[in-house]
Every structure is written in C-alpha cells, then in structure tokens.
Amino acid sequence: MLKRLIPAVLALAAVLAWAAPAWAHGRSGSADVRFAQTIAGMELTVVVRASLRVPAPLQVDVVAHDPGRGGRVELTLRPAGAGGSSAAAAEVREDAPGMYPVLLRAERVGPHELEVRAGGERSVLPFDLLVPAAPPWEVVVYLAFACAALALVVALVAAAQARRGAAGAGAVAFVVATAVAFTAGGLSPWFVPPVPDGAPAVPEGVRPLGKPNAQPLIEVEPRRPGAYAEFRLRVTLFDGSTGRPADDLAEHHGALSHVVVTSQDGTYFRHVHPLRVAPGVHEVRLRAGEAGRHLVYAEFERADAGGQLVSGAFTVGSPPPAAGSARVARPEGKRPEPERPEGARPVLKPARPVAGRPVTLTLDTGRTAVQPWLGMAGHLIVRSRDGGYLGHVHEAASMTAPGERPPDESVARYGPRLRFTFTFPRPGRHLAWIQYVRNYAIVTVPYVIDVEEGSAR
C-alpha cells in the first residue's frame, strides 16, 4: 500500500514543482489596477477591475474624490499593437463625490493603454491586462478526484460481481487518488501562484531591482506663475545612462506618480496625481495661491528600480514688489482652503515628540465609515519647516502585507480613530497634513508639530 503511494506522491511533487518563475512586480491576475489622476480640476481614481477572462466586458470605476465642477470623463481602452479599441464615458456631477462605473470591452490579455480625457486634458496610462491562470495544483486536484470517483465505481461494480481481486485494486486506487487530491489541496497555500495570462515575460539574466533610478526634471509653466493664476507643473523622467525618457513607472500606492506642492509657510497644500501626457512626462494643472516660494515633491517607482522621492521648487508671483505697492488680492468666489472638520484634533503620544524616537499620532475623525484612499485609510504627510525633509506615513490599521490586496475605495469600515506611527529624524517645527476619505470626499487636516532635541542616551 505504502509502496504504491510513494510514486504517486513523487509524481505529484514533480507536477507542482513545475511552478512558473517569479515575474517582475508580481501583480496577481485577480488584482485591480489603480491610477489616481488630477484632471480638469477633478481628483479621480480610475480603477480597472480585475477580469476573469477575455474577451469580456471590462469594468472601470471612475472614483471622483473631488469632482470639482464635474464634467465628462472619457475612457478609451486600446491594446498595444493591432486590435480594436473600446470607449465609454462617465458624467461626473459637480459636488457629487462617488463611484461612476464605466463598461469597456477587453478583447485580449497583455499590454494595453487606458486613455483618460476630460476638459481638454488627456492622459495615457499603460498597464498589463492580466487574467488569472489555472494553477497546476488545481488541475492535479480535479484529476485526482475524477480518478477517485472512477476507482470507486470500479470497486463497487467488481464487489457486486464478487470479483475480489478487481474490487481490492479499485479500493486501493480510490484511497491513493483521494490522498493525492487532499495532499495537493492542503499544500496549495504554500505553492508559488502561477503567472497570470498577459503578464510580461522576464528576460533571462535580468535581476530584480537592477535598473538605475530615473533622473527627474521638475518645471512649472509659466516659469513664474502669477498669484492665484493657473499654471502647469511638469515632472520629466529620464534614464541617466541613455538619456531616453524613463517611461516604465509601476503602479505605486494607486498612482504612477504622487506630487505634493506646498508653499514655504505651509498655508498652500496640494496632493495631486499628474497625467502622463507623453512617455516619461507627467503633468498637472494647478491654481496657485499667494505669492512666494513653493516646494514640490514627487514620489514614484520605476519598475525594477524601487521607489524614489524627488524635489524641486518654484516661485509664485512677480519679483518682490517695492515697499508700499499693492499685493495681489485673492479673487472673489474662489473656494476657501478646506476647513478643519469638527472634532478633528490630532493627539500625540508622547505629547512632546523627540527626534529619533517614534511618536504616535491619533486623529479622532469623530465619524466611522472612513474609506481607503490610494489603498490606505489615512495618509500623514510631514514636512520640515525649511522644506528640506518630507515624510509620508500610512495609517497603521489599514496597512497591507506585500502581495495582499489593498482595501477597495467602497469599503467604509475605518475610523473613527486613525493612527500613525512616525519618527522625526531632526528636531524643530514640522508641518503635517493628515488626509482621509469619507463619503468619497477627501478631508485634509493641517497640523503643526514641534519636535524636541533628543537627549543623549
């Protein structure tokens, strides 16, 4: 009996060892793809839902976190190379944050482009359309159960005909097949998941994290935006060795790139997600605040190169005016800066944070049903007063392990308390902004934290 089991178990191990090699940035075939986009005055997250097969309808949700003045958001899905495209549009309503589903059609797996158009702006987002592949162990389990059923029938028929030899063989085959099925099923959580259909092949000899970082260029247009005037901020990424555009950004916290713009004094704060207007070129339209120096931070991740945080600066307004000249007045009818919501007072523990030691910041939002934004229930962005340092921390309760699926925008199960743990590297005054989403709308809570010098230990 045992002798017969051993070859079966060895054969099973051989089949399962035929596990596919790990592939770059191992996104599972059952994960959604997210692109946060700041377009036409709206803050959107475009979510390409995972599909189980192709050809089939493909659901894309346009999540309007800040619908601004609203408008039509046109989506076009285009497979790389030949193949027909599919288009549809969502009508985002002014002051109606929420989810706007759109149905496109996917014809095949592999590299695709999703074009997003709104208000005369356009972004082209490359992604791989994946479909989960059947893992080898699943095939083994199904085959083994089929064999077990067949063996059971043979054994019963043979027993009914009083053929003891055949009945015994059938019974043994049934036991072996059942053992194989349960062994494969029971061990499956430890097997390497199969490469999804449509995933890019990893060329031989390519090491993960083997690419150099991208070289950034941060520019604004016009070079000196007027106070309260519209301007364009552009992040251009090059490959340092070839000089060609670095156009291989991976999805990083639900976007290709994240940009934070703050005025030196911190009264102006924008957390936005540029459009990919050309290979390696990421652009966002913004409206300036008061005149003065502004700091820009861009966070992104080049595939196989790891995450990067780069910074730049620009000045709003004309050169310092002569004494006594008039300041540019704030235009009427502009929406005021977001107010601090009722009850939102962060609590620090220890109350006087010390440089180099962890501090826990808890924000009581006063409400439950906080929703994730960019995969987290809350974001804490910290800047030193001079702007030389920027930190980004995620809410503790909503952190996911690598490979785990981030919570969906529609899941309103966080809060009322959001908790962040952070270590300030240097003492001094720091500006902090806590951001979270409720009823799909982004709430920003500004805060000032004074960090004390660490005593000698």
282 is an interface residue for Cu ion by CB under 5 A: no
Question: Pick from 415, 284, 258: which is nearest to 341 by CA?
Answer: 415
The residue (of 252 and 294) whose beta carbon lies closer to Cu ion is 252
- What is the C-alpha to C-alpha distance for residues 211 and 203, in angstroms, rounded to an integer? 14
Least separation in angstroms between residue 392's CB and Cu ion is 8
* Cα distances (angstroms) measured from residue 443 to each of 44, 112, 396: 14, 33, 18
Least separation in angstroms between residue 44's CB and Cu ion is 12
The residue (of 148 and 438) whose beta carbon lies closer to Cu ion is 438
The residue (of 35 and 137) whose beta carbon lies closer to Cu ion is 35
Least separation in angstroms between residue 82's CB and Cu ion is 35
Least separation in angstroms between residue 101's CB and Cu ion is 23
DSSP-derived secondary structure for 337-386:
PPPPPTT--EEEESSS-BTTSEEEEEEE-S-S-EE-BTTBS-EEEEEETT
Asked if the peptide bond before residue 222 counts as cis, ω within 30 degrees of 0, the response is: yes
First to last CA, the chain: 67
**Which one of 6-14, 37-45, 252-260, 315-323 is the stretch in contact with Cu ion (CB under 5 A)?**
252-260
**Which one of 13-21, 176-184, 227-235, 254-262 is the stretch in contact with Cu ion (CB under 5 A)?**
254-262
Residue 312, token pair as written in the block = 């730049």
Least separation in angstroms between residue 379's CB and Cu ion is 7
The residue (of 70 and 254) whose beta carbon lies closer to Cu ion is 254
* Cα distances (angstroms) measured from residue 88 to each of 53, 130, 254, 457: 20, 21, 22, 62
Question: Pick from 225, 194, 236, 366: which is nearest to 291 by CA?
Answer: 225
Least separation in angstroms between residue 286's CB and Cu ion is 14
Residue type for 281, please? V
**Which one of 174-182, 225-233, 257-265, 383-391 is the stretch in contact with Cu ion (CB under 5 A)?**
257-265
The residue (of 108 and 392) whose beta carbon lies closer to Cu ion is 392
Least separation in angstroms between residue 377's CB and Cu ion is 14
Taking CA 92 as the corner, what is the angle to CA 88 and CA 98, rounded to the nearest 5 degrees?
A: 110
**Which one of 109-117, 179-187, 253-261, 412-420 is the stretch in contact with Cu ion (CB under 5 A)?**
253-261
**Helix, strand and coil in the chain, % to nearest 5:** 15, 40, 45
The residue (of 117 and 271) whose beta carbon lies closer to Cu ion is 271
Number of residues in contact with Cu ion, rule: CB under 5 A?
A: 1
258 is an interface residue for Cu ion by CB under 5 A: yes
The residue (of 258 and 302) whose beta carbon lies closer to Cu ion is 258
The residues binding Cu ion (CB under 5 A) are 258
